[in-house]
Structure 1
Amino acid sequence: MRRQRRVLYARRETGPGGMRALMNELRYELIEGMPNDEVLRSIVELSNIVFGFEEEVSGYERALSNRHRLLFCLAFQGPKLIGFKVGYEDRPRYFESWRGGVLPSARGQGVARHLMELQHAWCAEGDFGFITTICSNNNLEMLRLNMAHGLLVTGTYLDRGEHLKLLLQKDLRPPSP
């Protein structure tokens, strides 16, 4: 599988404190295409922590191998990955925001909000008309974040007969005159 790591954006946020501030610095990166093995392994490890999964790197590779216009939005604190948001082109002009999360100890710093803003800006610049995502009904923080960023509930379904899932969509098209 061809891997492509292209840093499109890097934003550093530091506070006072010399070397301590350097270790706590927040850095954001956008990668188009599949990231290198080290980064992908970190994403899978964080995903397993956030969602309680026991996934392997190969599972992510299988899920994303035939996807077009992959985007990985990443947040690092010092050298450590603390947040991610992964998506891809689902069909022409539709971007599926597939999976994302923030390390529990790093929550409350606006990391998820900033990752979502980066993803949405990239999609708008990339000629996408819509962003779609699926959210568990019981994931209230993610639901609030999605709705605060303009995603609307467009449908529901029962996953595996017991988990209510919400389908959300955001229209990125400019308003008609």
Structure 2
Amino acid sequence: MQLTFEQLEGKDVLEHEGLQALYGILFESPARMIEPPVSKNFRAWLVLSDDQAIGFKAGYELKPGKYYSWLGGVHPEYRKKGLAGSLMELQHGWCSTNGYQTIQTKTKNKWKSMLILNLKHGFDIIGTYTDSKGEPKIILEKNL
């Protein structure tokens, strides 16, 4: 198994067939990933195994100086290998190099592995709210 990492930007994120297929698996959805609400610096970092997308981390600029880590995940067969953390480090490195001072993300308590990963990578819980489906969400932020 040969792993490679790739960075996509803008429409290339939405047009990458491997990423779209992985999105369907991770989010149990026949629909394709939609364009985010903000498209400034919309990017995705992918990890590929023998040219097949097995993980990704996507985000966009929330406001000047603040980046939002929007979506991500690793194929179930490739979890527990540090790939999500590697993708996070690539994203955060790019953000830091490109002038962002903070990065924000949101998760749900039911996704404990994602919550723990964020905490291990320096995020702090800065708030909570209830989403439109009535589910509590946790807001996390990290200074870069």
Alignment partner of 1:113 is 2:113: no
Trace 1:92-103 onto structure 2 (pairs within 5 A): 92-103=64-75
Alignment partner of 1:170 is 2:142: yes
Where in structure 1 do 4 or more consecutive aligned residues deviate above 6 Å? none
Greater mean deviation of Cα atoms: 159-168 or 122-131: 159-168
Deviation at 1:53, TM superposition (A): 2.5
The percentage of aligned residue pairs carrying the same residue is: 36
Task: Report the structure number with the largest CA radius of gyration.
Answer: 1
- State the alpha-carbon separation in 2 of the partners of residues 153 and 125 from structure 1: 24
Unaligned runs of 5+ in 1: 1-23, 173-177
Unaligned runs of 5+ in 2: none
Alignment partner of 1:129 is 2:106: no
Deviation at 1:145, TM superposition (A): 0.5
Match of 1:148 in 2: 120
**Count of equivalent residues:** 144
| Secondary structure of the structure 1 residue equivalent to 2:11 | coil
* Alpha-carbon distance change, 76 to 147 in structure 1, aligned in 2, over 3 angstroms: same
Deviation at 1:37, TM superposition (A): 6.2
Amino acid at match of 2:31: E
CA RMSD of aligned residues (A): 1.6
Match of 1:44 in 2: 20
Amino acid at match of 2:65: R
- State the alpha-carbon separation in 2 of the partners of residues 36 and 129 from structure 1: 24
- State the alpha-carbon separation in 1 of the partners of residues 27 and 89 from structure 2: 22
- State the alpha-carbon separation in 2 of the partners of residues 169 and 158 from structure 1: 18
- State the alpha-carbon separation in 2 of the partners of residues 155 and 37 from structure 1: 30
Alignment partner of 1:35 is 2:12: yes
Deviation at 1:43, TM superposition (A): 1.7
* 8 A contact 1:67–1:90 mirrored in 2: no
- State the alpha-carbon separation in 2 of the partners of residues 80 and 137 from structure 1: 30
Residue number among 81, 88, 97 corresponding to 2:60 in the alignment: 88
